Structure 1
Amino acid sequence: MAPPSTEPVPTAPDDPLSHTISWDDEPQLIGEARDAARRLLARAGYGPEGQASKDAQLIVSELVTNAVRFAPGPGSLVLDIDPPSETLRITVRDSSRRRPRPQHHDRALPGGHGLRLVALLCTYLETSVTETGKQVVAHFRLPGAPRPRGGALA
């Protein structure tokens, strides 16, 4: 299995801040995906201890976990921040054509609540089936409009 590929996307001052991760079948990439979200938001002026960063990391973690857990094979995560609209767009693609569905809520059992949390935190959540699987797109509204910082992701 090939290791995840992390591709920083250069940005111009008026372009959205972006980051892409691709994988074959790598469960350890969930932490890398959270780190990528944290670093991208820091580049955009949102501190890692702030609620926006924590919520964004949770959304990314839940969506990537579902992709890795339920769709073996290749997948990708694309993070885009558009400062004028104060929105983080999270796009996760995987090899399964099955749409994610919220699990039955059972307080006695752990887990199964991730998609509900994502839906509560996001202003937009859509799944579309593609020729090679599916794509889940979530929009997370960022508070305020801090000025983006230049430079590639570390």
Structure 2
Amino acid sequence: MDVSGSVPPAREGEPEAPADPLAYEGVWRFTAPAVEESVPQARRAVRELLGRQGVPTQQDLVYSLLLIVSELVTNSVRHAALLSPQVAVEVAIGREWVRVAVEDDHPYRPKALEADFGQTGGRGLLLVREITLEAGGVCDVEHTSTGGKVIWAALPLAGKSPYDGLTAPTG
């Protein structure tokens, strides 16, 4: 499925898919330098995009998305900047879900760490995973065609699973 919200034509025996995307559906992508200042800028850009598009979200969902964006951009800035001077942020909005993704050119594919209560850091991906699961969403890390990685999280807009009846969007 194309993450822009368009769906392929229905197969024989399947219900007809909606013809036109909703006004808020689409895909937006921007890049920023891999520096600390990009973290609040990315968060602000995503918040403004959601508001400008009129995405039907509850405040809890907006807070969750912004925290996820902050954690993912922070990870790219702190751990990938040497090999990736730019970070890409993508927001894909469908009828029933919002997907945020952060891409960098570093080949290392991180995993969510287990909580170690003796440490004060290193739990960003664990936090992203837990926020995503609590919201009924899904997240993953994938390789890009250029050898980097994209980390994404998709959250439902209105308490539905982001993949009820859909194929998972990919980066």
Q: Does 1:81 align with 2:83?
A: no
Higher strand share: 1
Q: Paired residue for 2:72, among 40, 63, 69? A: 63
Paired residue for 2:39?
A: 30
Counterpart residue identity of residue 80, structure 1 = A
Q: Could you tell me how far apart the structure 2 residues matched to 1:46 and 1:93 are?
A: 24
User: After TM superposition, where is structure 1 displaced by more than 6 Å over at least 4 residues in a row?
Assistant: none
In structure 1, the residue matched to 2:110 is: 100
Q: Distance in 2 between matches of 1:144 and 1:17?
A: 20
What's the CA shift string for 1:75-118, capped at 9, x where partnerless? Answer: 20001111x2x211112110110011223422132122221121
- State the shift of 1:13 in Å: 4.2
Q: How do residues 1-154 of structure 1 correspond to structure 2 at under 5 angstroms?
A: 13=22, 16-42=25-51, 43-46=54-57, 50-72=59-81, 73-82=85-94, 84=95, 86-122=96-132, 123-130=137-144, 131-143=146-158
Contact 2:105 2:149 (C-alpha < 8 Å) held by counterparts? yes
Task: Give the alignment's TM-score, normalised by structure 1.
Answer: 0.73
Write the letter of the residue equivalent to 2:131: L
Q: Could you report, residue by residue, the CA deviation over 1:27-48 in whole angstroms, capped at 9, with x for unpaired residues? A: 211101111222222231436x
Given that residues 124 and 138 in structure 1 are in contact (C-alpha distance below 8 angstroms), is that contact kept between their aligned partners in structure 2? yes
Question: TM-score, normalised on structure 2?
Answer: 0.66
- The CA distance in 1 between the partners of 2:33 and 2:124, in whole Å, is 22
Identity of aligned residues (%): 29
Corresponding residue for residue 164 of structure 2:
none
Name the aligned partner's letter for residue 27 of structure 1.
Answer: E
Q: 1 CA distance for matches of 2:28 and 2:66?
A: 14
Gap runs ≥5 in structure 2: 1-20, 161-171
Alpha-carbon offset, residue 14 of structure 1:
5.1
- Aligned 8 A contact 2:97 2:154 in 1: yes
Q: What is the DSSP-based 3-state SS (H/G/I as helix, E as strand, rest coil) of the residue aligned with 2:128? A: helix
CA distance in 1, matches of 2:72, 2:149: 12
Secondary structure of the residue that 1:52 maps to in structure 2?
helix
